[in-house]
Amino acid sequence: MYKILRTILFSFNPEWVHYFSMNGLKLVCKLPFGKAMIHSLFKTSGNNLITQFNGISFSNPIGLGAGFDKNARYLNELEALGFGFVEIGTVTPLAQAGNDQPRLFRLPKDKALINRMGFNNDGVEKIKERLNQWNNRVQKTSNHSLNQRLIVGGNIGKNKITPNEDAWKDYVICFNALHELVDYFVVNVSSPNTPGLRELQEKESLRKILTELQNQNNQFNIQKPILLKIAPDLTLEQIDDVISLAMEIKLDGLVATNTTIDKKNLLTPDATIDSIGAGGLSGKPLQKRSTEIVQYIHEKTNGQLPIIGSGGIFTGADAQEKFTAGASLIQVWTGFVYEGPAIVKKIGRHLKK
């Protein structure tokens, strides 16, 4: 059924379809028993899927990666679809429009997307308001039929206009603003769509950002896990630097990986790729490399550094591949676009076997 719907949706602008689809789902969930009906169709349940990660209990290990619900607008709807966790953002201190449109492109032959969104978001204060509303709602309905609350991660970044030497200040602003409202944080220095951002993956730049955040974290009564999201384009030497720093400062984990700038060996013609221009590639072409990085980190640290695996996950077998490589949780994004709203249920069914 979804394949037919997907064919229709894929004939329209990807960014427009994203908001059209999610707003449509929002309307359904507002109907009497609408959310319960959606959840009954797409939920995945069972105690054998409950996952402990950094002291947090996840109803299942299947999450939605950052960039899908940038502004915390659709948490209610994504919870209805059965996700164990959703990572909002990337959030920056100030609202920003992101890069010029068009900035999101489908590559159906490769089951992939290219995006150059550029951290478009409403800014930390507006997103903070929405998270406050969400948390108040969750507290009022703590005994609802979904059994266990949706875990929310906060993916944070810097504004485009902020120079790299001051980047740590942007991360601190977002961290402090959202600390009481999210369950964990992910530091995003690996998006290819903000000029110069990936330079912050160098060891000393990372040290400055992460230690500042840890210092802030220690000021709160309850500390929140801090993870780092890394690019799949890092060399092994660069990955070793990240691992070394993460182990040294006792970072809570890594997200592996973000999108890639490597667009070689695609089924989509080179002329089409050239016409699209810059952007990060996600989806099936990223699957092998992201799994290799997950496995490398897991083996290098003897499993002591928790990992959220992301990249090219479309099926239960894809998810199992990441878990076998050493991931504790997994995130989908492009797979959600291609596989549709039943992706969590399908992956969960496979994992329960």
Annotated catalytic sites, by residue?
A: 191
Q: In angstroms, rounded to a whole number, what is the distance separating the alpha carbons of residues 129 and 101?
A: 27
- What is the rounded (10 degree) CA torsion for 163, 169, 171, 176? -160
Closest Cα to residue 272, out of 106, 117, 118? 106
Nearest to 158 by CA among 178, 174, 144: 174
Taking the C-alpha atoms of residue 112 and residue 266, their distance in angstroms, rounded to an integer, is: 10
Tell me whether residue 214 is exposed, middle or buried, using C-beta atoms within 10 angstroms of its C-beta: 0 to 12, 13 to 18, 19 or more.
middle
Residues 6+ apart with CB under 8 A from 353: none
State how beta strands 253-256 and 151-156 pair.
unpaired
> What would the two tokens of residue 43 be?
């939920």
Q: Which residues contact 98 (CB under 8 A, 6 or more apart)?
A: 117, 118, 119, 120, 121
- 């960039």: which residue's tokens? 67
Q: Which is it for strands 226-230 and 51-53: parallel, antiparallel or unpaired?
A: unpaired
What secondary structure does DSSP assign to 180-237, as a single string? TT-SEEEEE---TTSTTGGGGGSHHHHHHHHHHHHHHHTTSSS---EEEEE-TT--HH
